[in-house]
Structure 1
Amino acid sequence: MINPVLPQVLHVLRQHPYGISEYRLMKTLDSEHLFEEQNRTDGTMLPLFRKHFLIMNALYDLQDILWQEENRVLEISPMHIELHERQTDQPAKREPDWYPLLSEYYLDWQYYSNTTEDDIDRMMDDLKRIADQTH
């Protein structure tokens, strides 16, 4: 499947040279009416999950493309997403230390298609449990 928001995600990243949060990126794409299908909410978290998934899929896809084609690094975290030049002390052919398990997850379209509201509830419960353990 081709990600319908990938070109717009790249455009927004290039407009924010000092980075952007996932929330701000989502709001920007929302203002461009790119999530019409996902905005048809049914009162569950599933539409929000799908918007998040589309963004993360585009980012992880772009991470590899931009490294290979432009020798640029795309740092990805929910609070800060930034596209920048490769550090001069980093060998040109050596990829940065990314998170392969996250990229594998977000690059697999089956998770977009097959994730249910029950799955999201379990993920949220797991996150709460992890947060409680760290406090």
Structure 2
Amino acid sequence: MNDDLEPEQDLAEQILLLLREQPDGCSEYELIQQLKARHSTHIPHLPLIDKLVLFRTHFLVFNALYRLRDRLWGECSHHLQISPLCVQLQPYVPGTSGITTGDPLRDYYLDMTNLRDTDEAEVERLLASFWSRMRGDQVGDRSGDWDPEQKRAALELFELDSEPGLDMAAIKRRYRQLVSIHHPDRGGSTTRIQSINLAMEILQRHYR
């Protein structure tokens, strides 16, 4: 289904609509891509390669998720699992799925001043954390399998399309370009290089 989301809908309502279509849940990255594909006007429609775009998109989505979780619990209709790797509507179970008091993540994402006041250094740290999660726990996994979401995220960071003609030679050329652009000696940052290296590691496993 590729229908546009209603522009007057709140982001939380748009997310609820998408999650109802996916009872098994989805990752944060997949949810963002679906919002973009359905032309949501509530998130930036720009590549996640830009660290400020990545942070703003992530924050807006998680703000909506925590608002939605509070609402669904108040309505006694669902519990909402919130994780970068799995966002899922779950059955409402009184006494077991309630909102945890003193939840620091909920408090952080519901405070919109954090969206306004987070500086570039903090965004760099969050970016490195995002790519570490995308890398996951599969280092040393002998099966050699990586989640497709990791592959898509890495390709987006490299601004490459997953097309039949894409090969390791093209990926390496793009990798060298990105390293040259973002190297600390040229005004880049160590955390950005780390993100590029982690994405390259993911793509090497997919295209080796």
SS class of match (1:33): coil
User: Is residue 21 from structure 1 mapped to residue 24 from structure 2 by the alignment?
Assistant: no
Over the matched positions of the two proteins, sequence identity in percent amounts to 33
3-12 or 45-54: bigger deviation: 3-12
Q: What code does the residue aligned with 1:109 have?
A: M
**Mapping of residues 1-135 of structure 1, within 5 Å:** 4-34=10-40, 38-40=44-46, 44-87=50-93, 90-91=94-95, 95=98, 97=100, 100-124=103-127, 127=129
Number of matched pairs: 125
Give the 4+ runs in structure 1 shifted more than 6 A: none
SS class of match (1:39): coil
What is the root-mean-square deviation of aligned Cα atoms in Å? 3.2
Q: State how far apart, in whole Å, the 2-side matches of 1:97 and 1:37 are.
A: 27
Q: Quote how far apart the aligned CAs of 1:98 are.
A: 7.5
The TM-score with structure 2 as length reference comes to 0.51
Whether the 8 Å contact between 2:66 and 2:110 is mirrored in structure 1 is yes
Residues 1:48 and 1:35: Cα distance change in structure 2 (over 3 Å) = farther
Residues 1:68 and 1:14: Cα distance change in structure 2 (over 3 Å) = same
- Structure number with the bigger relative contact order (C-alpha 8 A, sep ≥ 6) is 1
Q: What code does the residue aligned with 1:104 have?
A: D
The TM-score with structure 1 as length reference comes to 0.75
